[in-house]
Amino acid sequence: MVARGSGAEEAAPTQQRLVFAYYITGHGFGHATRALEVVRHLIGAGHDVHVVTAAPEFVFTTEIDSPSLHIRRVLLDCGAVQADALTVDRLASLEKYHQTAVVPREAILRTEVEWLNSIKADLVVSDVVPVACRAAADAGIRSVCVTNFSWDFIYAEYVVAAGNHHRSIVWQIAEDYSHCEFLLRLPGYCPMPAFRDVIDVPLVVRRLHKSRSEVRKELGIADDVKVVIFNFGGQPAGWKLKKEWLPDGWLCLVCGASDTQELPPNYIKLAKDAYTPDLMAASDCMLGKIGYGTVSEALAYKLPFVFVRRDYFNEEPFLRNMLEHYQCGIEMIRRDLLTGHWKPYLLRALTLKPCYDRPINGGEVAAHILQDTAIGKKYISGKLSGARRLRDAIVLGYQLQRAPGRDVGIPEWYSLSEKEIGVRAAVAPASCRISGSAESSFEDFEILHGDMQGLTDTMAFLTSLSGLVGNDPRMPEKQSRERTAASVLFDLEEDIYVARAPGRLDVMGGIADYSGSLVLQMPIREACHVAIQRSNPIKQKLWKHTQARQLANGAVPVLQIVSFGSELSNRAPTFDMDLSDFMDGDKPISYGKAKEYFSQDPSQKWAAYVAGTILVLMTELGVRFTDSMSILVSSSVPEGKGVSSSASVEVATMSAIAAVYGLNIAPRDLAILCQKVENHIVGAPCGVMDQMTSACGEANKLLAMVCQPAEVKELVSIPTHIRFWGLDSGIRHSVGGTDYGSVRVGTYMGRKMIKCAASDLISQSFPSTPAQSCDASEEYEKYGVELLKSEASLQYLCNLPPHRYEAAYARDIPELITGDEFMKKYGDHNDAVTVVDPKRSYSVKAPTRHPIYENFRVEAFKALLTAAKTDEQLSALGELMYQCHYSYNACGLGSDGTDRLVNLVQEIQHRKTTSQHGGPSLFGAKITGGGSGGSVCVIGKNSLKSSEEIFEIQKRYKAATGYLPVVFEGSSPGAGKFGYLKIRWRSA
């Protein structure tokens, strides 16, 4: 019954021959290989198993040669779609699941119910296909799931990233799972609240067929040769493996290499159907990515596992914790993987002592339980299921409310030993510790220059810094990985420089900034702090993997960065590089090369906002950095909310670097330099208003600036009777997104069309034939040649008044045009930071009209701020904001969430009120910044009633969407006004 080896224990025979329908998810081979072990034991006990899978048949048939195995190849879910071997595409995963399992759902259910009845299935087993549980219920058959994670948990964060679109997918999956009788839960499990009852089983692991010596003999490898198995579940194209990447005398067994790939002599290409467990047991360590299959087999066969982190692979932290708990895993930085800096990791792996001592017979145990269930036995877990389900439900609910990513760890390489540095445990979150003990903590530092200006967030940041050193028994024993990394950043005997830059609330102006509009921006209370220290490369404290690189390459200036708060987004919390990477000979590398450099690892792309400031200073100001730098970034400006989290990071970083190097850069100039970081290195085509507000703003004032390119007109005090709020829609916003970029392209297309039309009118004003003289004279009188000349050389679209646009050009601007058609007729659109796609259709009329009218609205808004303090004044200001909002929508930059918030403001503003409540308190709202989600700005009276109505909007929005909006209120000074702090540890 079972081919390929013997000795496996099988499920206890029963008199009844049972029929099992075993559904396996379409995500990777790991599910198929673990299901294989359970199936093998079921067939060994004399039962029939029908496997429903999208995996290749050979995965099963090479291990099980039996007429009792029936394979039906069909895809009923898609799992997680991978952009590459290390990155999950969250939006594509949701879209594909929608197309695979949601659109054809009714047809799938009919087909599966009919099929289950046709095979007379006694039990449905799912790993972990949601619809299988519902189909089983519809067919009147019991079902059991076998898994370490469920798709409702995995997709929950993807939904948040998608702006809560496809939220119903999560609830549908959870409902499908609820039809399952119980869950056989595997080690390394995630929260799974949808299941009513849980039975924990041991690791399900494929058995070994051959001994270590047998495998090595077959491969011609001596017993004393060190071997690493390279296992990434199918090697991606473009990874070129090099001989020098391995330590001398080592061999590498490569799984999944393509037939055409050529490998160096110290690499061995394995067959496609090679039996991985035997090869793992014959190796000294493994280099790969985390998945249940690789982790379980590494633990079972005590194989040290060097793993590379995967983006948005949400089960990874739970498996990783198990690996590290049993001393079986260390993380390799992705950049080191791609550049071949393998040696220190492989040598470190040999020192690990894996100690997994739990049972590994999960396949046998699961088969016994499934067999007993199929014949009618009732299993009860014996656990407090209600309490467990409540706990898991809370975890899942938390997932649905937070930003994408979670529990992102850093390698042990980032920390030195406690004996070396005297690390103490982590402090509590900064926001919770502005009290007596907090004050004494930040007073551990002597302020040699600057003033905290009474800012509680700055006090909290210094408290956080003081928590990185010394020993404090009041603190928890275990500190987060990012704090461990930060604890070795700074030399306490040397000065540390601190800069601060706030986010901004776009009151008026928004996307008209790149068209030269007047904008009105308010710096918000939330801000980014950056601490920096420069040091001699020989004296700098280095993380272990950086130190290993230095030993190989010599002591060169190194940049080490830690970003606090990485657990709230899917990014690695640390980044390091040799500053020489920014040099091409004796000149800085191009911005294009830098963009490519930071794009190598999506989890570290965030570092472009920080490290990119160094390259811009090198390129634009000729600064040369010969010292090493250690940088700590801590931002309370939430990402993806449309309040310029990126600008605050750029401005705070460049301000700190300017301070530590004594660079005298005016706030306006610094903002323009920071815009270059975002445009050219990050690759986001934003205007300059975000950086200008963060650098030049002042508390409780609107920065009025004309973006031509960046001239501060004045700082407008916010009248005391007026108040602004920001309300987050929960829909993630990014100026790097396609919507923002395509609208910008359409705007520049419209400008080019207007300039060409004006040139044509000029040529008509000077007729070449007498017959045209009369008409030309009329054109001349109508437009005026000088006016047309200025419009033919129009640099900023906002310099064209609305009446001129309507009179001369509006009728000729098309609604849409393809990129190809535009380029054939007009050539380039003359925008340095966007590219026209010939195959794409662009909206032109609405994006062209928006900045022309928006500039007029902003001018009117600014003038109205100084008008008499009446409800009419507030109504007029609010009307201008509403007009701006709907103009955004016309451009294609609206969203369901922001529309809902604006509609709620309108409802509250215009609802009938009793005389005792008086008139309205809220008067207008608009989408902010780049649009397509993010936040809305609300204007109202500075009163208790308006605050109550904002709270009412929060509650009503949550009731409708399940998301509680974040409220931004209050203001704080920009980086220029704050200056910088120069601090030193008092005990030093």
SS3 (DSSP) at 833: coil
How deeply is 116 buried, as exposed, middle or buried, from its count of CB atoms within 10 A (0-12, 13-18, 19+)? buried
Listed residue (67, 75, 42, 71) closest to 59, CA to CA = 71
Token pair in block for residue 182: 């119980």
Residue 515, both tokens: 């068209």
Which whole-number Å values give the CA distances from 930 to 171, 641, 843, 951, in the listed order? 31, 10, 16, 25
Tokens of 692: 């200008």
Q: Which two tokens stand for residue 102?
A: 């949601």
Task: Give residue 735's Cα distance to chain centre.
Answer: 14
Task: For residue 974, give the 3-state DSSP assignment.
Answer: coil
Determine the Cα–Cα distance for residues 351 and 327; give it in Å rounded to an integer.
10
Cross-strand partners of 82: 88
Provide the 10 A C-beta neighbour count for residue 543: 24
| 363-393 burial: b if 16+ Cβ within 10 Å, else e | bbbbbbbbbebbeeeeeebeeeeeebbeebe
Per the annotation, the verdict on 690 as an active-site residue is yes
Sheet arrangement for strand 305-308: 267-269, 251-254, 227-231, 285-288, 305-308, 329-332
| Type of residue numbered 894 | G
Query: Which of helix, strand or coil describes residue 924?
Result: strand
Task: Name the pairing type of β-strands 922-927 and 935-941.
Answer: antiparallel
Dist. CA 640–CA 933, nearest whole Å: 8
Is residue 628 within a helix (H) or strand (E), and if so which, with residue range?
strand 628-635
Is the separation of the CB atoms in 694 and 651 below 8 Å?
yes
Continuous segment of H or E residues that includes residue 52? strand 48-53
Residues 6+ away with beta carbon under 8 Å from 21: 50, 52, 116, 119, 121, 123, 124, 125, 132, 136, 141
Burial annotation 225-262 (CB, 10 A radius, 16+ → b, else e): ebbbbbbbbebeeeeebeeebbeeebbbbbbbbeeeee
Cα–Cα nearest to 739, from 624, 842, 595: 842
Element (H, E) at 877: helix 871-891
Q: Tell me how far apart the alpha carbons of residues 426 and 567 are, in angstroms, rounded to a whole number.
A: 15
DSSP string across 395-452: HHHHHHHS-S-------GGG---HHHH---PPPPPGGG--SHHHHHHHTTEEEEE---
The residue from 690, 728, 739, 831 that is catalytic is 690
> CA 255, CA 241: separation in Å to the nearest integer?
13
Burial track 319-349 (b if 16+ CB lie within 10 A, e otherwise):
bbebbeebebbbbbbbbbbeeebbbbbbebb
Residues 6+ apart with CB under 8 A from 220: none
Please list the helix, strand and coil fractions of the chain in percent, rounded to the nearest 5, in that order: 45, 20, 40
Asked if omega into 264 is within 30° of 0 (cis), the reply is no
**Cis peptide bond prior to 128, omega within 30° of 0:** yes
Task: Give the sign of the dihedral formed by CA 618, CA 623, CA 629, CA 634.
Answer: negative
- Token digits of residue 425: 């445990």
SS3 919: coil
Active site (catalytic) residues: 690
